[in-house]
């Protein structure tokens, strides 16, 4: 492994269980020193944590050893051509994981901090003049924030904006 960074390698196939080493750590160590090399994990493990660890370490592809010779050769050509080959079950596991991990974006996430503060004060019943005094800004600035809130929430009235805020 010490001599590898001195060699020009296009594609390196790595197993997670290397003799005396861990394939994921091998990729993590070599990738920064061999940036042009594409690392493809070829292993028996289909555990989600290992897959994400390998990809996070710098692997570009992930195939199971039960893949046929034809599939392995096609994967090497694909990775050398800029692709990211993965066994079908692995690709499905990854896409399902992203669906489960997708963050819930609330309407408030689209507002700037000042707009959020204006909306909070509106929901508490403050008038524009009171909001301006509370925030130390001009009343016209409050009007600008309110228009932006309406645009971002796709609403036309204070009541609609507050209802959207409370429903988050």
143, with CB counted inside 10 A (0-12, 13-18, 19+), is middle
Output the pLDDT for position 101: 55
Write out pLDDT tens, residues 108-128.
Answer: 778 899 999 999 999 999 999
Topology annotation, domain 107-167: Arc Repressor Mutant, subunit A (1.10.10)
Range of weakest confidence among 28-32, 43-47, 95-99: 95-99
> What token pair was written down for 165?
């805020």
Q: What is the mean pLDDT of the chain?
A: 86
Range of weakest confidence among 3-7, 11-15, 100-104, 127-131: 100-104
* Whether the Cβ atoms of residue 58 and residue 79 lie closer than 8 Å to each other: no
Name the nearest CA neighbour of 85 among 137, 38, 33. Answer: 38
Output the pLDDT for position 128: 94
Rounded CA gap, 86 and 94, in Å? 10
Quick one: pLDDT band at residue 103, thresholds 50, 70, 90? low
Chain region(s) in the chain for CATH 1.10.10.10: 107-167
When pLDDT is averaged across residues 31-57 and rounded to a whole number, the result is: 89
Contacts 24+ apart (CB under 8 A), 102-106: 106/168
* Whether the Cβ atoms of residue 72 and residue 42 lie closer than 8 Å to each other: yes
**Domain at 4-101: CATH architecture:** 3-Layer(aba) Sandwich (3.40)
Rounded CA gap, 88 and 72, in Å? 13
Beta bridge partners of 61: 40
Chain region(s) in the chain for CATH 3.40.50.2300: 4-101
* Whether the Cβ atoms of residue 11 and residue 80 lie closer than 8 Å to each other: yes
Range of weakest confidence among 101-105, 128-132, 159-163: 101-105
Range of weakest confidence among 49-53, 71-75, 119-123, 132-136: 49-53
Output the pLDDT for position 98: 67
Which tops the pLDDT comparison, 33 or 7?
A: 33
Name the nearest CA neighbour of 76 among 17, 21, 23, 14. Answer: 14
């Amino acid at each position: 492994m010490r001599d590898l960074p001195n060699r020009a390698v296009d594609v390196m196939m790595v197993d997670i269980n290397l003799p005396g080493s861990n394939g994921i750590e091998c990729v993590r160590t070599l990738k920064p020193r061999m940036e042009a090399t594409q690392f493809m994990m070829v292993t028996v493990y289909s555990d989600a944590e290992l897959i994400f660890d390998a990809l996070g370490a710098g692997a570009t592809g992930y195939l199971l050893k039960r893949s046929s010779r034809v599939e392995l050769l096609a994967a090497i050509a694909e990775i050398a051509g800029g692709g990211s080959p993965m066994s079908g079950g692995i690709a499905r596991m990854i896409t399902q994981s992203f669906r489960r991990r997708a963050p819930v974006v609330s309407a408030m996430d689209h507002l700037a901090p000042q707009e959020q503060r204006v909306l909070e004060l509106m929901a508490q019943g403050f008038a524009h003049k009171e909001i301006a005094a509370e925030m130390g800004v001009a009343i016209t600035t409050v009007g600008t924030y309110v228009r932006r809130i309406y645009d971002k929430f796709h609403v036309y009235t204070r009541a609609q904006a507050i209802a959207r805020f409370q429903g988050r």
